């Protein structure tokens, strides 16, 4: 148990709880609870958005993806960083000018039916659950390293999941969006500080990036993996032969001992050479693409990350907290700078791990909380805290671990608010109890937060049982990209056409969301089943199951569906011109139209001071 690290994490938890308690007085109305009263400034909101965005997938997953996959892992950083370009160019300002509370509000306000609101709510909840999974898995993994044991009869992993779910349940329900925003600002700067400090320590230890890159690329890329003895000896020992060729004599002796024990269900850690999916006859090396993706997946993954950012409800909801459309644009400008800093540093840490962790294992100084085989981490997602302890001892481990929890808290907070608003604002207030008092609405919102915290708890506890954590390398980055892919297929075509094409109809938008979201969900599930060995079919199902990410098909399919169905339907909202003015008009034009002044030339001289721009 690392006492200093635990004290720092406990300090972080207590500070976030304190901020939530202080923010309680700002949660008297639903506008306060969901949107912090729409009074969050540009830079503060940019910090909060960055904290919301830099989740466990980024803080733990990007460095892990680079560690495990080399250049293919760098694509995660590039895609995540580039995603906000779509938001700033096409969505942020228009969404804020339109007003309202949620993405479902936009869909209803733009197309005018209850059907599209409810379809959007379902999409929001599924996207949030997809995104919740890697956060909760990161919670359990980090707790396992930090504390190393569980409480009340639970494993260390399960204890971490329970603790994080409990803390998030309390502080989001207590502080609402105001408390969540303050916490996200603090948590972003903490995790950014931890990342900067880690990079400083890495280069301070004498690490040379060019030399490390050359060394990592000198031989075939190998990774550690946990397999059963039965899998290892199947197919006349084909996997066993590969492991023998890749492992040291000492490491392989442990594998032989496990086989000799005779238990085919026993699990053993091995090192295996990685296959080049782009050039099957060539060795896979660290500095080249092809470890994780073939040509189609390579493009589809980057497309999912770039487009998916604009389809994350917990990110889009944050733009409603800005006081104006211009403030939303300024927020996104700062976000690009802030997250760009992080995504430059994460790949450096991933590469450094290949060298520094191996050296620590060789000289016996590697932390005992993780499993290693021949100097390689068995669980790549542990790289950030492991690097912290190796190069900076307990103090740096504590700072990095607190940064990991900050990343999880920040993102989970945003997801809980987005889920609660989808159910509380878009369902309860609109259909179940439209005449509810503010007190009843806020109470329901807080209750929804608690319910979804328990859902997150169940997801976190279920991941190890599913086997996903051993089936996929860099599982945290993988799971979050599924969320991006689902959001890209479900929401982005609807948002882009709804904002920029007046001819989009309600039937077209719904059809596009079903095609994009349903297709994404189907392909992701088929890939999971095929990776786990449940699906062995060929043909179309086999082809779809081989796809890691579906966006290259689902996004254009959804876009085409919206266009075709809208053209066939032709039933535009009766007030489409007014809607268009709300989305694209200047503050002066919107004020005149809303007050009937456009016919007389704006007799009062335009919009009042403070009108949204």
If you average pLDDT over residues 151-159, what whole number do you get? Answer: 87
Are 297 and 251 found together in one domain? no
Does the pLDDT of residue 496 top 90, yes or no?
yes
| DSSP character string of 71-91 | HHHHHHHHHHHHHHHHIIIII
Are 419 and 509 found together in one domain? yes
**At 272, which helix (H) or strand (E)?**
strand 267-273
Residue 598 neighbours by CB under 8 Å, 6+ apart? 589, 592
Write the burial class of residue 207 (CB in 10 Å: 0-12 exposed, 13-18 middle, 19+ buried).
middle
Does the pLDDT of residue 611 top 60, yes or no?
no
Are 76 and 185 found together in one domain? yes
Residue 319 neighbours by CB under 8 Å, 6+ apart? 92, 95, 96, 328, 331
Give the whole-number percent of the chain exceeding pLDDT 70: 88
Worst-scoring range by mean pLDDT, 37-41, 195-199, 481-485? 37-41
Are 204 and 320 found together in one domain? yes
Does 605 map to a domain? no
Are 246 and 324 found together in one domain? no
Q: Largest Cα–Cα distance of the chain, in whole Å?
A: 91
Does 280 map to a domain? no
CATH number at residue 340: 1.20.1730.10
**pLDDT for the residue 504:** 94
Are 265 and 383 found together in one domain? no
Model confidence at 176, in pLDDT bands (50, 70, 90)? low
**pLDDT for the residue 533:** 80
Does the pLDDT of residue 585 top 80, yes or no?
no
Does 119 map to a domain? yes
**pLDDT for the residue 603:** 33
**pLDDT digits over 500-522, tens only?**
999 999 999 999 999 999 999 99
Residues 55 and 411 sit within 8 Å (Cβ to Cβ): yes
Model confidence at 609, in pLDDT bands (50, 70, 90)? very low
Q: Nearest 5°: phi and psi at 373? A: -135, 120
Does the pLDDT of residue 601 top 70, yes or no?
no
Q: How far is the C-alpha of 532 from the C-alpha of 527, rounded, in Å?
A: 9
Residues 290 and 542 sit within 8 Å (Cβ to Cβ): no
Locus of tokens 């976000």: 335
If you average pLDDT over residues 255-283, what whole number do you get? Answer: 89
Worst-scoring range by mean pLDDT, 190-204, 343-357, 539-553? 539-553
Worst-scoring range by mean pLDDT, 26-30, 84-88, 131-135, 436-440? 26-30
Average pLDDT score, the chain: 83
Does 582 map to a domain? no
**pLDDT for the residue 381:** 82
Are 372 and 513 found together in one domain? yes
**pLDDT for the residue 612:** 42
If you average pLDDT over residues 203-220, what whole number do you get? Answer: 93
Q: How far is the C-alpha of 400 from the C-alpha of 411, rounded, in Å?
A: 17
Are 418 and 546 found together in one domain? yes
CA 341 centroid distance within chain? 18
**pLDDT digits over 8-64, tens only?**
888 887 887 787 677 666 555 555 555 544 556 677 778 878 877 887 668 888 899
If you average pLDDT over residues 546-557, what whole number do you get? Answer: 89
Does 543 map to a domain? yes
Strand residue runs (E) in 296-433: 372-373, 376-377
Domain that holds residue 261: 222-273
Are 114 and 252 found together in one domain? no
Q: Count up the domains in the chain and report the number.
A: 2
| DSSP character string of 186-220 | HHHHHHHHHHHHHHHHHHHTT--HHHHHHHHTSS-
Does 599 map to a domain? no
**At 128, which helix (H) or strand (E)?**
helix 114-146
Model confidence at 613, in pLDDT bands (50, 70, 90)? very low
Are 350 and 331 found together in one domain? yes
Give the whole-number percent of the chain exceeding pLDDT 90: 28
Does 27 map to a domain? yes
Are 170 and 298 found together in one domain? yes
Tokens of 318: 């944050």
Are 131 and 265 found together in one domain? no
Does the pLDDT of residue 272 top 80, yes or no?
yes
């Amino acid at each position: 148990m690392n006492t200093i690290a635990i004290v720092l994490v406990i300090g972080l938890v207590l500070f976030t709880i304190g901020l939530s308690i202080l923010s309680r007085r700002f949660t008297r109305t639903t506008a306060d609870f969901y949107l912090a009263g729409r009074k969050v400034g540009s830079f503060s909101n940019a910090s909060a958005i960055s904290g919301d965005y830099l989740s466990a997938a980024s803080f733990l997953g990007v460095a892990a993806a680079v560690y495990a996959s080399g250049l293919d892992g760098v694509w995660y950083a590039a895609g995540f960083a580039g995603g906000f370009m779509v938001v700033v160019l096409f969505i942020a300002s228009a969404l804020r000018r339109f007003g309202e509370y949620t993405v479902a509000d936009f869909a209803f306000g733009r197309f005018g039916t209850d059907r599209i609101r409810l379809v959007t709510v379902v999409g929001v909840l599924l996207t949030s659950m997809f995104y919740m999974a890697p956060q909760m898995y990161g919670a359990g993994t980090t707790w396992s390293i930090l504390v190393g044991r569980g409480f009340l009869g639970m494993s260390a992993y399960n204890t971490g999941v329970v603790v994080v779910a409990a803390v998030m349940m309390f502080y989001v329900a207590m502080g609402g969006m105001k408390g969540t925003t303050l916490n996200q600002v603090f948590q972003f700067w903490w995790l950014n500080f931890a990342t900067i400090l880690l990079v400083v320590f890495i280069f301070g230890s004498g690490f040379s990036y060019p030399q490390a890159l050359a060394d990592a690329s000198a031989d075939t890329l190998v990774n550690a993996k946990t397999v059963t003895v039965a899998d290892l000896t199947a197919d006349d020992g084909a996997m066993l032969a590969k492991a023998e060729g890749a492992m040291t004599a000492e490491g392989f002796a442990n594998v032989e001992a496990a086989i000799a024990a005779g238990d085919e269900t026993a699990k053993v850690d091995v090192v295996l050479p990685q296959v080049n999916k782009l050039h099957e006859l060539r060795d896979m090396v660290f500095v080249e693409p092809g470890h994780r993706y073939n040509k189609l997946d390579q493009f589809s993954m980057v497309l999912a990350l770039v487009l998916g950012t604009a389809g994350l409800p917990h990110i889009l909801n944050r733009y409603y907290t800005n006081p104006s459309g211009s403030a939303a644009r300024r927020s996104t400008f700062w976000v690009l700078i802030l997250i760009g800093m992080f995504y430059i540093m994460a790949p450096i840490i991933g590469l450094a791990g290949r060298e520094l962790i191996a050296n620590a294992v060789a000289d016996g100084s590697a932390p005992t909380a993780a499993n290693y085989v021949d100097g390689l981490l068995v669980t790549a997602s542990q790289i950030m805290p492991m690097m912290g302890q190796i190069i900076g001892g307990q103090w740096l481990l504590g700072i990095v671990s607190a940064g990991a929890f900050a990343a999880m808290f920040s993102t989970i907070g945003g997801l809980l608010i987005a889920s609660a608003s989808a159910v509380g604002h878009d369902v309860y207030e609109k259909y179940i109890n439209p005449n509810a008092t503010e007190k009843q609405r806020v109470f329901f919102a807080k209750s929804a937060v608690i319910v979804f915290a328990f859902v997150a708890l169940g997801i976190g506890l279920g991941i190890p049982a599913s086997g996903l954590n051993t089936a996929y390398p860099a599982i945290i980055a993988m799971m979050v990209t599924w969320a991006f892919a689902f959001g890209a297929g479900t929401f982005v075509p609807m948002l882009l056409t709804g904002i920029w094409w007046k001819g989009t109809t309600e039937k077209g938008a719904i059809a596009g969301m079903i095609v994009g979201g349903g297709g994404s969900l189907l392909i992701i599930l088929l890939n999971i089943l095929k990776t786990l060995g449940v699906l062995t079919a060929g043909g179309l199902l086999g082809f779809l199951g081989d796809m890691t990410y579906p966006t290259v098909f689902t996004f254009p399919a959804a876009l085409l569906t919206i266009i075709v169905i809208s053209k066939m339907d032709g039933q535009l909202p009766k007030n489409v011109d007014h809607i268009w003015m709300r989305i694209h008009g200047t503050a002066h034009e919107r004020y005149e139209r809303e007050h009937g002044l456009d016919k007389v030339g704006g007799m009062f001289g335009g919009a009042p001071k403070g009108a949204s721009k």
